[in-house]
Amino acid sequence: MKWILIAYGIIFGMPITAAVFWFCRNDSEHVVWDCRHVYGGLVTYQALLYRNPRDVLKDPPGTSWRFQIQRFIEDVHMTPYDLDERWTSAENRWLRDEPSGPDFFCPQGSNRTSVMAITGPDTWWTEGEKRTFEELPPSYVVFVLGVSSQCHWMQPGDISRDEVPALLKGEVGPNSTRIGSAFWLAFADGTLLRIRTPDDPMALQPFLSITESAAAAREWLDPWVLETSHVDR
């Protein structure tokens, strides 16, 4: 149906209609492209280093998990960087000072991340957690896309599970993090859901815990689902 409407718009002199549907198609494809890279980086990191990526905070201000997995997503060998140094270090200034961050983490023309993990107890991001995505409940949310923040992609900064209800109410979190009227959820099995902000601020909580998500059905989110896609991890 989408392609019929695009063709109709082009043939009958309705370029705006065609452009809108073309933009929507590419927007979804871009999210899938982003997620495929992020999933791939996470899986490769875990397979090679035998641990899950996480923010490195032992030497504040540390580095983010996004910075940790970037080397497994794209070739950055031509750019000087040091994963053992904090993101604000002189060794990492070349990446840090780039006005545009990686496309799979940042909006175009920005170095502020729009991809964040949901952290806290009983999440994939806790110390010592080593389960693969295949070993997690399919309905567990690993990360979210489409948030607004002032968090540099190399900087440690995510959303804790406890912060989610307040963000869904429109409050502003750390690093000026906001959840807008619509955003994407990336599940352990590769399912992607674009949802509008739920009326119930507690609606996402069962999906943000490994234990609780085992008994959670994604159909519970149907009232707010705008679009569904999938990534082959």
Among 117, 104, 131, which Cα is nearest to 40's? 104
Q: What is the residue extent of each domain of the chain?
A: 32-230
User: How confident is the prediction along the chain (233 residues), in pLDDT tens digits per residue?
Assistant: 444 433 433 343 433 333 333 334 346 788 888 999 999 999 999 999 888 887 765 556 788 999 999 888 876 555 678 888 889 999 999 889 999 999 999 998 999 999 999 999 999 998 888 899 999 999 999 999 999 999 999 999 999 999 999 999 999 999 999 999 999 999 999 999 999 999 999 999 999 999 999 999 999 999 999 999 999 86
Answer whether the bond into residue 61 is a cis peptide, omega within 30°: yes
CA angle 172, 173, 174 (to 5 degrees): 135
Rounded CA separation 108/58 (Å) = 31
| Cβ atoms of 108 and 142 closer than 8 Å | no
Rounded CA separation 208/131 (Å) = 15
> Torsion-angle region of residue 109: left (phi > 0), alpha (psi -120 to 50) or beta?
left
In 10 A of CB 91, how many CB atoms? Answer: 15
| 102-153 tens-digit pLDDT | 999 999 899 999 999 999 999 999 888 889 999 999 999 999 999 999 999 9
Task: List b or e across 114-143, with b for residues whose CB sees 16 or more CB atoms inside 10 angstroms.
Answer: bbbbbbbeebbbeeeeeeebeebbebbbbb
> Torsion-angle region of residue 52: left (phi > 0), alpha (psi -120 to 50) or beta?
beta
